[in-house]
Structure 1
Amino acid sequence: MKRTQLRRRLITGIPVAGLLAVALVPLTAAADDPGGRTADRGRGTAAAPGAQAAQSGADLPYTEYEAEAGTYEGTLLEADSKRTFGHTNFGSESSGRQSVRLDGTGQFVEFTSTDAANSIVVRNSIPDAPNGGGTEATISLYVNDTFVQKLDLSSKHSWLYGNTDDPEGLTNTPGADARRLFDESHALLPESYPAGSTFRLQRDEGDDAEFHVIDLVDLEQVAPPAEKPAECTSIEEYGAVPDDGEDDTAALQKAVTDDQNGTIECVWVPAGQWRQEQKILTDDPQDRGEYNQVGIRDVTVRGAGMWHSQFHTETPPHEADGINHPHEGNFGFDIDANTRISDIAIFGSGTIRGGDGGAEGGVGLNGRFGKGTKISNVWIEHANVGVWAGRDHSNIPELWGPGDGLEFSGMRIRNTYADGINFTNGTRNSSVTNSSFRTTGDDALAVWASRYVKDPATDIGHDNTFRDNTIQLPWRANGIAIYGGYGNKAENNLIADTANYPGIMLATDHDPLPFSGETVLAGNTLQRCGGAFWGEAQEFGAITLFAASGDIPGVTIRDTEIHDSTYDGIQFKSGGGAVPDAAISNVVIDKSNNGAGILAHGGARGSATLTDVTITDSAEGDVVVEPGSQFVINGAP
Structure 2
Amino acid sequence: MSRSITGAVAKWSDGPRRRAAMAVASLTAAAVGLSVLAGGTASAGAAAGGGAGPVVTRAALDPALVAGRGASVGFAEQEAENAATNGTVIGPGRTAYTLPAEASGRRAVSLTPGQYVEFTLPAAADAITVRYSIPDAPGGGGITAPLDVTVNGKNRTTATLTSQYSWLYNQYPFSNDPNAGLLHPDYWVTECGCVPAATTPAPEFATPFRPNHFYDEQRLSLGRKYRAGDKVRLTVPAGSKASATTIDLLDSQLVGAPHVAVVAANVLAFGADPSGRRDSADAIDRAIAFAQRTHLKVYIPPGTYQVNRHIVVDDVTIEGAGSWYTIIKGHEVTLSTPAWGHPRPEVGGGSVHTGVGFYGKDAAAGGSSNVHLSGFAVEGDVRDRVDTDQVNGIGGALSNSTIDGLYVHHTKVGMWFDGPMTNLRITNNVITDQIADGLNFHTGVTHSLVSNTFVRNSGDDGLAMWSEKTGNAGNTFDHNTVQTPVLANGIAIYGGTDNTVSDNLIADPIREGSAIQVGSRFGSEAFTGHLWITDNTTVRAGTYELNWNIGLGAIWFFALEKNIDADIRVTGDHFLDNTYNAIMLVSDWPVKDLYSITNVHFKDIRVDGTGTSVVSGRAAGSSSFENVDARNVGAVGVNNCGSFHFTPAGSEFALTDLGGNDGGGTTGPWLAPWELPNTITCDDRPAVVAPPAPSAW
Q: TM-score, normalised by structure 1?
A: 0.85
Alpha-carbon offset, residue 32 of structure 1: 8.5
Contact conserved, 1:570 with 1:599, CA < 8 A, in 2? yes
2:501 alignment partner AA: A
2:133 equivalent to 1:125: yes
1:379 to 404, 407, 413: 407
Contact conserved, 2:490 with 2:509, CA < 8 A, in 1? yes
1:364 to 369, 393, 410: 393
| Correspondence for 1:291 | none
2:346 equivalent to 1:332: no
2:449 equivalent to 1:431: yes
| Correspondence for 1:586 | 604
2:464 to 446, 449, 452: 446
Deviations 1:297-331 (A, max 9, x none): 10111000011001111x22446899796277321
Give the 5 Å matches for 1:572-583: 572-575=585-588, 576-583=594-601
| Correspondence for 2:243 | 210
What is the alpha-carbon distance in structure 1 between the residues aligned to residue 282 and residue 339 of structure 2?
Answer: 13
1:503 alignment partner AA: A
Contact conserved, 1:328 with 1:366, CA < 8 A, in 2? no
| Correspondence for 2:332 | 316
What is the alpha-carbon distance in structure 1 between the residues aligned to residue 230 and residue 551 of structure 2?
Answer: 43
Partner SS for 1:362: coil
| Correspondence for 1:525 | 537
Partner SS for 2:627: strand
1:90 alignment partner AA: L
1:588 alignment partner AA: R
Partner SS for 2:514: coil
1:138 alignment partner AA: P
Deviations 1:84-135 (A, max 9, x none): 212xx10001000000100131x11112111111001100011111211111
How has the CA–CA distance of structure 1 residues 148 and 160 changed in structure 2, closer, same or farther, with 3 Å as cutoff? same
How has the CA–CA distance of structure 1 residues 373 and 540 changed in structure 2, closer, same or farther, with 3 Å as cutoff? same
2:224 alignment partner AA: E
1:99 alignment partner AA: A
What is the alpha-carbon distance in structure 1 between the residues aligned to residue 256 and residue 68 of structure 2?
Answer: 26
1:7 to 25, 31, 40: 31
Contact conserved, 1:318 with 1:360, CA < 8 A, in 2? no
Partner SS for 1:252: helix
| Correspondence for 1:630 | 652
| Correspondence for 1:36 | 55
2:130 equivalent to 1:114: no
What is the alpha-carbon distance in structure 2 between the residues aligned to residue 623 and residue 581 of structure 1?
Answer: 18
What is the alpha-carbon distance in structure 2 between the residues aligned to residue 146 and residue 590 of structure 1?
Answer: 44
What is the alpha-carbon distance in structure 1 between the residues aligned to residue 433 and residue 371 of structure 2?
Answer: 25
Alpha-carbon offset, residue 584 of structure 1: 0.4
What is the alpha-carbon distance in structure 2 between the residues aligned to residue 422 and residue 6 of structure 1?
Answer: 37
Alpha-carbon offset, residue 620 of structure 1: 2.1
2:310 equivalent to 1:279: yes
What is the alpha-carbon distance in structure 2 between the residues aligned to residue 28 and residue 620 of structure 1?
Answer: 31
What is the alpha-carbon distance in structure 1 between the residues aligned to residue 283 and residue 32 of structure 2?
Answer: 53
Alpha-carbon offset, residue 76 of structure 1: 1.3
Contact conserved, 1:565 with 1:592, CA < 8 A, in 2? yes
Alpha-carbon offset, residue 434 of structure 1: 0.5
Deviations 1:9-60 (A, max 9, x none): 9xxxxxxxxxxx9933355634886343334479x932x4xxxx31211111
| Correspondence for 2:230 | 197
Deviations 1:222-274 (A, max 9, x none): 011111242x11111110121142211111122223334x2451111000111
Alpha-carbon offset, residue 71 of structure 1: 1.3
Contact conserved, 2:472 with 2:497, CA < 8 A, in 1? yes
What is the alpha-carbon distance in structure 2 between the residues aligned to residue 110 and residue 184 of structure 1?
Answer: 17
2:422 equivalent to 1:404: yes
Deviations 1:356-415 (A, max 9, x none): xx885811111121x211110111111111111115xxxxxxxxxx12111000111001
How has the CA–CA distance of structure 1 residues 633 and 516 changed in structure 2, closer, same or farther, with 3 Å as cutoff? same
Contact conserved, 1:109 with 1:200, CA < 8 A, in 2? yes
Alpha-carbon offset, residue 534 of structure 1: 4.8
What is the alpha-carbon distance in structure 2 between the residues aligned to residue 227 and residue 450 of structure 1?
Answer: 41
Partner SS for 1:29: coil
Number of residue pairs the alignment of both structures matches: 571
What is the alpha-carbon distance in structure 2 between the residues aligned to residue 634 and residue 214 of structure 1?
Answer: 47
Contact conserved, 2:355 with 2:381, CA < 8 A, in 1? no
Contact conserved, 1:273 with 1:311, CA < 8 A, in 2? yes
Q: Which runs of 5+ in 2 are unaligned?
A: 1-24, 180-206, 341-349, 361-367, 589-593, 658-670, 673-697
2:148 equivalent to 1:136: no
Contact conserved, 2:334 with 2:353, CA < 8 A, in 1? no
2:252 equivalent to 1:219: yes
Contact conserved, 2:59 with 2:104, CA < 8 A, in 1? no
Contact conserved, 1:414 with 1:440, CA < 8 A, in 2? yes
Give the 5 Å matches for 1:185-584: 185-230=218-263, 232-260=264-292, 262-263=293-294, 265-281=296-312, 296-313=313-330, 315-318=331-334, 326=351, 329-335=354-360, 336-354=368-386, 360=389, 362-369=391-398, 371-391=399-419, 402-451=420-469, 453=470, 460-500=471-511, 501-535=513-547, 537-552=549-564, 553-575=566-588, 576-584=594-602
Partner SS for 1:385: coil
Give the 5 Å matches for 1:13-92: 23-27=40-44, 29-30=46-47, 34-40=53-59, 45-46=63-64, 48=65, 53-80=66-93, 83-86=94-97, 89-92=98-101
Contact conserved, 1:72 with 1:110, CA < 8 A, in 2? yes
What is the alpha-carbon distance in structure 2 between the residues aligned to residue 3 and residue 599 of structure 1?
Answer: 15
Alignment RMSD (CA, Å): 2.5
Q: TM-score, normalised by structure 2?
A: 0.78
What is the alpha-carbon distance in structure 1 between the residues aligned to residue 158 and residue 478 of structure 2?
Answer: 38
Partner SS for 2:283: helix
2:157 equivalent to 1:157: no
Partner SS for 2:381: coil
1:148 alignment partner AA: R
Moved more, 538-547 or 557-566: 538-547
What is the alpha-carbon distance in structure 2 between the residues aligned to residue 562 and residue 25 of structure 1?
Answer: 28
Alpha-carbon offset, residue 581 of structure 1: 2.2
Partner SS for 1:352: coil
Moved more, 108-117 or 574-583: 574-583
| Correspondence for 1:397 | none
What is the alpha-carbon distance in structure 2 between the residues aligned to residue 633 and residue 35 of structure 1?
Answer: 46
How has the CA–CA distance of structure 1 residues 39 and 440 changed in structure 2, closer, same or farther, with 3 Å as cutoff? closer
Partner SS for 2:636: coil
Moved more, 173-182 or 185-194: 173-182
Q: Which runs of 5+ in 1 are unaligned?
A: 10-20, 282-295, 392-401, 454-459
Contact conserved, 2:542 with 2:579, CA < 8 A, in 1? yes
What is the alpha-carbon distance in structure 2 between the residues aligned to residue 158 and residue 573 of structure 1?
Answer: 33
What is the alpha-carbon distance in structure 2 between the residues aligned to residue 429 and residue 360 of structure 1?
Answer: 27
2:175 equivalent to 1:170: yes
| Correspondence for 2:10 | none
Alpha-carbon offset, residue 567 of structure 1: 1.5
Contact conserved, 2:281 with 2:308, CA < 8 A, in 1? yes
Partner SS for 2:375: strand
Partner SS for 2:288: helix
Contact conserved, 1:126 with 1:211, CA < 8 A, in 2? yes
Partner SS for 1:488: strand
1:275 alignment partner AA: Q
Contact conserved, 1:118 with 1:192, CA < 8 A, in 2? yes
| Correspondence for 2:666 | none
How has the CA–CA distance of structure 1 residues 192 and 511 changed in structure 2, closer, same or farther, with 3 Å as cutoff? same
Contact conserved, 1:65 with 1:217, CA < 8 A, in 2? yes
What is the alpha-carbon distance in structure 2 between the residues aligned to residue 361 and residue 25 of structure 1?
Answer: 43
The percentage of counterpart residues that share the same residue type is: 29
Partner SS for 1:214: strand
